[in-house]
């Protein structure tokens, strides 16, 4: 087994071009579990840990977008200043594993592994993120909706790296909520991200851990828009929020597994969607309260 400790994206791409079978490692929080438990045979590894370009993020004020390098750790997303630009991402980041995991894990890793329970993915879906891929010969941008194609399957080609994602800066409430067996250090049994664009008058809802990939509840989104104006602060009654939740739950296709049951997951989605919509309507503070670090 050989290791390339790349220091630039170009170096990593050159190594992948020579050996497309190489496994890519960023924080290691997924791949090393496979290695430690002998669940995988690895011929070679390209490590991105020292690629500084992947750890950068910046706001484009003209385009109203935020571009986040694939290697930016979750720990950075949950803290100022980055948390202010994408509050739902900050909330999701804060629910990932433990502080130790968040110091290592990244959106590039979440996308690369493409588990339907990845906590960053519902946020990227609700924000209609664009995934930036690069190989030695070409670059391409793929909508996150087209990027995820199945359980732990995505459209990244073996000679490509996920280098960054771009999300729009949205005016309005955005939030992430998840259910698991405990409050800390837990993989989602069900999760949801809601983004309210108060200018465009839209609500977007993405659901995690309840289908082979993260999915959007487009039926519930369209139904909500038909019921109430979503420009500015939306007027949402409890009954409307409950119906929104029920419609979202009807759009997922959960399974029974070691983490939960399909029935419970569907119920959890109805509650999470309802709760997030009511938060959007009341302008509730985010779950980041009380944390300074």
Partner 1 sequence: MSNEFYRLRVNGVDHEVRDAWAGESLLYVLRERLGLPGTKGACEQGECGSCTVIMDGEAVCSCLVMAATAVEADIVTVEGLAVDGEPTDVQQSFVDAGGVQCGFCTPGLIVAVHHLLDRNPSPSDLEIKEAISGNICRCTGYGRIFEAVRQARDARAANKG
Tokens standing for 163? 């280098």
Please identify which residue in 50, 145, 242, 275 interacts with partner 1, judged by CB under 8 A: 50
Please identify which residue in 13, 16, 24, 29 interacts with partner 1, judged by CB under 8 A: 29
Does residue 81 bind partner 1 (CB under 8 A)?
A: no
Does residue 3 bind partner 1 (CB under 8 A)?
A: yes
Tell me the window of 28-36, 133-141, 156-164, 253-261 that interacts with partner 1 (CB under 8 A). Answer: 28-36
Does residue 8 bind partner 1 (CB under 8 A)?
A: no
Phi, psi of 99 (to 5 degrees): -55, -35
> How far is CA 288 from each of CA 84, 180, 291, rounded to the nearest angstrom?
11, 18, 6
Tokens standing for 88? 């739902």
Does residue 36 bind partner 1 (CB under 8 A)?
A: yes
- Paired with 25 in beta bridges are 47
Residue carrying structure tokens 């609700």: 126
* Residues that contact partner 1, how many (by CB under 8 A): 35
Does residue 32 bind partner 1 (CB under 8 A)?
A: yes
> How far is CA 54 from each of CA 127, 136, 198, rounded to the nearest angstrom?
21, 16, 32
Does residue 212 bind partner 1 (CB under 8 A)?
A: no
Residue closer to partner 1 by CB (options 3, 231) is 3
Please identify which residue in 13, 47, 55, 126 interacts with partner 1, judged by CB under 8 A: 47
Does residue 97 bind partner 1 (CB under 8 A)?
A: yes
Residue closer to partner 1 by CB (options 98, 237) is 98
**Please, are residues 191 and 270 in contact by the beta-carbon 8 Å criterion?**
no
Q: Which of 78, 73, 167, 163 is nearest to 128 (CA)?
A: 167
Kind and range of the H or E element at 66?
A: strand 65-69
Please identify which residue in 24, 25, 68, 123 interacts with partner 1, judged by CB under 8 A: 25
Does residue 18 bind partner 1 (CB under 8 A)?
A: no
For the CA atoms of the chain, what is the radius of gyration?
A: 19
Does residue 287 bind partner 1 (CB under 8 A)?
A: no
Q: Which 3 state secondary structure label does DSSP give 70? A: coil
DSSP states along 154-180: E---TT-EEEEEEEE--SS-EEEEEE-
Query: Mask 123-162, x = binds partner 1 (CB under 8 A)?
Result: ----------------------------------------
Residues that bind partner 1 (CB under 8 A): 1-5, 25, 27-29, 31-33, 35-37, 42, 45, 47, 49-50, 73, 75, 97-101, 103-104, 184-185, 290-293
């Amino acid at each position: 087994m050989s290791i390339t400790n790349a220091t630039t994206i170009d170096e990593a791409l050159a190594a992948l071009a020579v050996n497309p079978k190489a496994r890519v490692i960023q924080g290691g929080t997924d791949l090393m579990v496979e290695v430690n438990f002998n669940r995988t045979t690895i011929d070679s590894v390209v490590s991105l840990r020292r690629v500084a370009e992947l750890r950068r993020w910046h706001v484009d004020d003209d385009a109203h977008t935020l571009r986040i390098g694939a290697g930016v750790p979750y720990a950075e997303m949950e803290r100022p200043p980055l948390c202010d630009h994408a509050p739902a991402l900050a909330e999701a980041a804060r629910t990932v594993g433990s502080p130790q995991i968040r110091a290592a894990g990244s959106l590039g890793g979440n996308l690369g592994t493409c588990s339907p329970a990845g906590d960053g993915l519902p946020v990227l879906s609700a924000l209609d993120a664009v995934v930036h891929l690069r190989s030695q010969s070409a670059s391409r941008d793929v909508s996150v909706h087209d990027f995820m194609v199945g359980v732990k399957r995505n459209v990244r080609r073996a000679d490509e790296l996920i280098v960054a994602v771009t999300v729009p800066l949205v005016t309005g409430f955005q939030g992430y909520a998840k259910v698991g067996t405990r409050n800390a250090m837990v993989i989602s049994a069900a999760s949801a991200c809601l983004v309210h664009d108060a200018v465009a008058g839209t609500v977007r809802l993405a659901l995690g851990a309840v289908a082979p990939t993260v999915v959007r509840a487009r039926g519930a989104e369209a139904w909500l828009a038909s019921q109430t104006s979503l420009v500015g602060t939306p007027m949402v009654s409890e009954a409307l929020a409950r119906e929104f939740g029920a419609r979202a739950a009807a759009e997922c296709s959960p399974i029974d597994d070691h983490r939960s049951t399909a029935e419970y997951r569907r119920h959890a989605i109805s509650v999470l969607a309802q709760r997030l919509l009511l938060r959007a309507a009341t302008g509730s503070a985010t779950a980041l309260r009380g944390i300074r670090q």
